[in-house]
Amino acid sequence: MNSVDKLRNTFTLASCNVLLQVMFRVLTFLLNGFTLRFVSKELIGVVNVRLTLLYSTLVFLSREAFRRACLSGESGTNQNWRQTINLLWLTVPIGVLWALFLGSVWLWLLEVPDPGAVPYYGAAVVLFAFSGVQELLAEPLWVLAQAHMFVWLKVVAESLAMIAKCSVTVVLVLFAREWGLYIFSAAHLVYTGFLLLCYVAYFKRFLGSEEAAKKSFPLHRVTDLLPGRIHGEPLIDWSAAQLTWSFFKQSFLKQILTEGERYIMTFFNVLTFGDQGVYDIVNNLGSMVARFVFLPIEESFYVFFANVLDRGRDVRRQEQEAASIAAEVLECLLKLVVVIGLIITVFGYGYSHLALDIYGGSLLSSGSGPVLLRCYSCYVLLLAVNGVTECFVFATMSKEEVDKYNLLMLALSASFLLLSYMLTWWAGGVGFILANCLNMGLRILHSLRYIHRYFQISQWRPLRGLLPSPLLLLALAVSAAVTAVSEAALCCDGGWWLRLLHIAVGGACLLLVLAATALSEKQLLHFIRTHLLSQYRKKTT
């Protein structure tokens, strides 16, 4: 598969991932809005912060390093999939060990919620840990699907699992509210069970079929998905195992940075369970676009850069066509996420109060809620830039460079935890966002320095994508001023007609920004129209 084909498939993967994440965020958004009206904010705080942290920590530390290492090689028939599958099955026993360790910490070392307000905490910890191990059983199948661009498998599997989870939650909240944390534990078990079932069912049908033979799929029987050994070959690819260990050290630190505020809330009790629930809802609302747009782009284009460029080689030793395509893609991706991030920052300031008031009423719009959401709108811009720059850096770094970067991540992790703890005591929930902004800025500076050095000896300058056109910046500045005045004059103590007028003002400003983008960002529009929109046209014809 040449670079152009890989780029085309990557755009398909990114498009489907964006669609999937949009659906996930919308369903979660609606589900949180629904449960807010039936359960206490303390219960939401325990589920969305403490139990979700247990699950995400277990799963991330068990599989993230394996995913990055196994997707870094040449995908397809040239890869030794027997050794790769053997390596991936190690995620299950590792997950069991993490489940035992983390479950013990969550049960016996952390503060136990009041059983009257949050019942069945102990059982919920066990069930959430079990659901994480259950999901790891599908890991070899997930990597196979990603490497061979089975994009719709992921979309269908995760869509069905999410719909099942939401359905179980709604039914139990309405008819068995006294179950407390059992409601959310059962829903999460259903989610991971559906994921595993969908992947197993697909590969059972696919392996040995004419479609698999036509695609020269490297596996032929269902038993090939299980651990096994070929006589005369090592059980696993030891170079991939070493790379996995390097990525594991990095993943451990990245998890602390990604979920740092939840670790601070969980282990240091800087916020009550009720305050944790409000902060998490505001945090999820503020990060919706970052999660369903920027994260799928980062995941998909990591695979693209890792396959197009050879890891550990400078730009002169790369295939020049591949390097040219990678530079163009990186520049346009940076321009795209910067434009989206600036739009979110500008309009997030003027519409945070209204969004929270509509979503959760005075429970969210009073107090620090609007300030939290405004700060998060600024943080989204940093998230956008960091996601694209780091996906390129991690895809091209050599093993030695990854190990060196681990030291930097260690320093960032320590500074982040310290800053979060100090700033939270000073500014409450806003302190978490400020600490995130400072650390994200340092990570971006490191990535920009790496990319500048990487392309310095070539004719390509992809970092120009960070600079929007003057016309677009002017339109954004005007929109920021107009929407701020509109919020002060029209929102949110008046009637609904004033709120609708405030929304209309924002819509007019957004059209102004989009028009400025169309007039001044021709290369970006050509990139989207040529590579992204063409994929949607092919799907509809």
Domain ranges (residues) in the chain? 1-37+259-463, 40-253
Burial 489-525 (b: 16+ CB within 10 A, else e): ebbbeeeeeebeebeebbeebbebbeebbeebbeebe
What is the residue whose two structure tokens read 């999901």? 135
CA atoms within 13 A on the CB side of 540: 5
d(CA 120, CA 108): 14
Report yes or no: 182 and 123 within 8 Å, Cβ to Cβ.
Answer: yes
C-alpha torsion sign, points 122, 125, 127, 129: negative
| Digit-coded pLDDT (tens) for 352-399 | 888 888 877 777 777 777 888 898 889 999 998 998 898 888 888 887
d(CA 507, CA 175): 41
Considering only 16-30, 106-120, 130-144, 491-505, which range has the smallest mean pLDDT?
16-30
User: What does the pLDDT average to over 34-46?
Assistant: 82
Q: Which of 450, 458, 395, 293 is nearest to 71 (CA)?
A: 395
Report yes or no: 172 and 187 within 8 Å, Cβ to Cβ.
Answer: yes
Give percent of the chain with pLDDT exceeding 70.
Answer: 89
Q: Check whether the bond before 492 is cis (ω within 30° of 0).
A: yes
Is residue 7 pLDDT above 80, yes or no? no
CA atoms within 13 A on the CB side of 127: 18
Q: pLDDT category, 536, cuts 50, 70, 90?
A: very low
- Output the pLDDT for position 540: 42
Report yes or no: 390 and 447 within 8 Å, Cβ to Cβ.
Answer: yes
d(CA 112, CA 124): 12
Report yes or no: 42 and 274 within 8 Å, Cβ to Cβ.
Answer: yes
What is the residue whose two structure tokens read 């599997």? 157
C-alpha torsion sign, points 495, 501, 507, 512: negative
**E strands, 404-515, where?**
none
Packing angle, helices 260-268 and 52-70, rounded to 10: 140
Q: Which residues contact 257 (CB under 8 A, 6 or more apart)?
A: 409, 412, 413, 416, 439, 443
Is residue 176 pLDDT above 80, yes or no? yes
Report yes or no: 280 and 49 within 8 Å, Cβ to Cβ.
Answer: yes
Other CB atoms closer than 10 Å to residue 210's CB: what's the count?
A: 7
User: Encoding tokens for residue 524?
Assistant: 């970006």
Q: Which residues contact 203 (CB under 8 A, 6 or more apart)?
A: 141, 144, 222, 225
Residue 115: exposure state from Cβ atoms within 10 A (0-12, 13-18, ≥19): exposed
- Output the pLDDT for position 535: 45
| Digit-coded pLDDT (tens) for 315-338 | 777 778 878 888 888 888 899 989
| Digit-coded pLDDT (tens) for 216-268 | 788 888 888 888 877 667 788 888 888 888 888 777 777 877 787 888 888 88
